[in-house]
Structure formats: structure tokens, C-alpha cells
Amino acid sequence: MIDRRNFLAGTVAVLLAAPIGVNAQGTAKTYRIGYLASGRPSSPATASELQSFLKGLQDLGYIEGRSFLMEYRWAEGNPDRLPELAADLVQIRVDVIVSPGTPPTFAAKRATQTIPIVFPILGSAVEKGIVASLARPGGNITGLTTQLGALKLSQVLKEAIPTMTRVIYLYDPDSSPRGVAESLRSQAQAMNVEWQSVAIREWTGAFAEFGRGTTGLVLDDASLVQLKAEQACAVALQRKLPTIGKGRLYPQAGCFMSYAESSNDMFRRAAGIVDKILKGAKPADLPVEHPTKFDLTINLKIAKGLGLTIPPSLLGRADEIIQ
């Protein structure tokens, strides 16, 4: 017969020997999350997205410094640094890499085929060869995809400026699927809009390629374009070009307006995907998720400077108005 006192003493000893730093996942492990980004942490848009991701982890019960540690690698606007930064994250053996955008995701993909990679925001993932399909990504990568294309942005811009007849699309060819620029031209004809795609290879010469009679400018959401948002918006305003970009950073930088998936919401949801992976799910089995929230931002100060009168119906739909 087991002595009751000995049994209780043994039980207490086992409990005391158990680790006390148990996190929300029932394990004492502190996860290391790599964050590989093209831009700078000082950017307001970047900082907001990062905070949304960290808040998403917090809402799931993770505590920074106890449940997880962040390993940040910033390219500071120099995409050539991304391969080296990705290799560094692989070398220190992070548990997962978070890679906002195409260039960081490509760099992470080339650096590892085993460490899970989650992209919070990225367009045309299948066309770019990043995942096999949205439903079954395959490999070690999954995340959230954007849906809005440049043509949709031009439609919103034309709603604000019904007289718009010629549009320039400024894009990064290294972050766009092949043939997208050509296909947009034919699609724009249905809107009675003449379309000119201008690839950014040498930024200072990009605006020199604009054709005469341009009445609207659409900015790509590639990292290369985002990093030059203030410069692009300043030149556009100087040339009296109403400009729309994909993301709030453009009207914040001095452009007319933006329409895009809510990046903050997508980064918050990316935390949920990271959570599933840390709990044992494989990226190959986690479908790439679609956005569910979209934001329209209008800069009224810029509109006045351009001499534009915005239709009340469009103003009423705006999620944010910058005075």
C-alpha cells in the first residue's frame, strides 16, 4: 500500500520540478521570430504595420521577451542587402521568418527551404513562383495575398476625376509578373483611358518618360516605389498630376489619394498564421489568405492644391481624410 504522505510529497516534488515559465502554448520555449524587411523601421507606415503584427501576437497570448523574441533585419531601402540579411536569420536558426513584400520573400525563399516563411502582404504569389497555389502553397511559404490591381486604382481615380483620359502606371518590373504592364493597357481601353506603363529602372529618369497630356498617375505598391513615395508625390504635385497609390503612406507622403487592402489588418492576421506554425502546422498546408478589409484615404489639402472638387459620394466612402 502507498503511504499517503509519501504520495503527496512525491507529487509536490514533481510540481516544483516543472518549469514555471510556461507560455500560452504550454511550453517553456521562447520562440525566435525573424522579421526581414526592405524598408526602415522609422517609416510611419512600416511602424504601424509592425505594431499590428505584434498586437496580433499579443492578442493570441504571446508575450514579447518571454514567449517570443523578435530578430529584426532591415535593408534600409537597399534591396541588395536582403540576401545577406536572410542568410543571417537562417544562421541564427529562427523558428519562422516574416517577410513583408516580394523582395524579402524571394530573399528568404532562396536562403532556406526548411524554416517556415510567412508573408503578411504580397501580390501575385503564384504568378511569381513563390507558392504553388493559393489553396495549397506547398513548400515552406504561406501568408496573405493582395487582390487589388493597378486598374482598380485607376477606376477609383477616374471616379474622383471623370475627365481623366490618360494614365501613367509607375511600377517596379522586378516585383511584377511578366506581361502585366502590357495586359493593363488593353484592359484600360474598356474604360476609355489611354494607359502608359513606365518601369522604374533609374528613378530620376522615370518621370521623363511620361507622355504628354497625362491626367493621372497610378503608383505601384512595390517596395522600390514605396521607399520613394515622398519624392514621387512631390514631383507629381509639381506637375499637377492627381496621383493614387496602393497604401496610406502615399497620401501621407503628399499624394492625392490611396485605395488598398488594409495592411494593418493583414499584418494582424499574419500573426495568426505564425501562431499556427509555431503550434506545429506546416506552411504547405495553410492556404494563402485573402484580404477582408479595404481602406480609402483622401488628402484634401493636395486636392485643393490640384484644384480638384471631389464628388460627395467618394468623400462619404473615405475611411480617412487628411486635411
**Across 17-45, average pLDDT:** 72
Of 169-178, 181-190, 246-255, the range with the highest mean pLDDT is: 246-255
Q: Which residue do the cell numbers 487589388 mark?
A: 148
**Across 289-303, average pLDDT:** 95
* 233 in the same domain as 165: yes
- 221 lies in a domain? yes
Please give the C-alpha separations between residue 16 and each of 9, 11, 25, 272, 277, in angstroms, as whole numbers.
11, 9, 20, 33, 30
- 173 lies in a domain? yes
- 4 lies in a domain? no
* 84 in the same domain as 160: no
- 1 lies in a domain? no
- Reply yes or no on whether the pLDDT at 137 is more than 60: yes
Range of the domain at 32: 22-147+262-293
Q: Quote the pLDDT of residue 87.
A: 98
- At 21, the pLDDT band (50, 70, 90 cuts) reads very low
- At 260, the pLDDT band (50, 70, 90 cuts) reads very high
* 123 in the same domain as 204: no
User: For all residues of the chain together, what is the average pLDDT?
Assistant: 86
* 305 in the same domain as 198: yes
- Reply yes or no on whether the pLDDT at 215 is more than 90: no
- 90 lies in a domain? yes
- Reply yes or no on whether the pLDDT at 28 is more than 80: no
Q: Quote the pLDDT of residue 277.
A: 98
How many percent of the chain have pLDDT more than 70? 86
**Across 78-90, average pLDDT:** 96
Check which CATH number belongs to the domain holding 271 and give it.
3.40.50.2300
* 185 in the same domain as 76: no
- 242 lies in a domain? yes
CB 60 within 8 A of CB 262: no
Q: Which three cell numbers stand for residue 108?
A: 528568404
Q: Quote the pLDDT of residue 212.
A: 66
- Reply yes or no on whether the pLDDT at 13 is more than 80: no
Q: Quote the pLDDT of residue 205.
A: 66
Q: Which residue do the cell numbers 498630376 mark?
A: 241
**Across 280-298, average pLDDT:** 96
CA separation for the pair 195, 212 (Å, rounded): 12
- 176 lies in a domain? yes
Round to the nearest angstrom and report the end-to-end CA distance of the chain: 81
* 306 in the same domain as 198: yes
Q: Quote the pLDDT of residue 23.
A: 45
* 139 in the same domain as 286: yes
* 109 in the same domain as 29: yes
- At 99, the pLDDT band (50, 70, 90 cuts) reads very high
Q: Quote the pLDDT of residue 190.
A: 76
In three-state secondary structure terms, 196 is strand
* 160 in the same domain as 73: no
Q: Quote the pLDDT of residue 14.
A: 38
Rg (the chain; Cα; Å): 23
Q: What's the number of domains the chain is made of?
A: 2
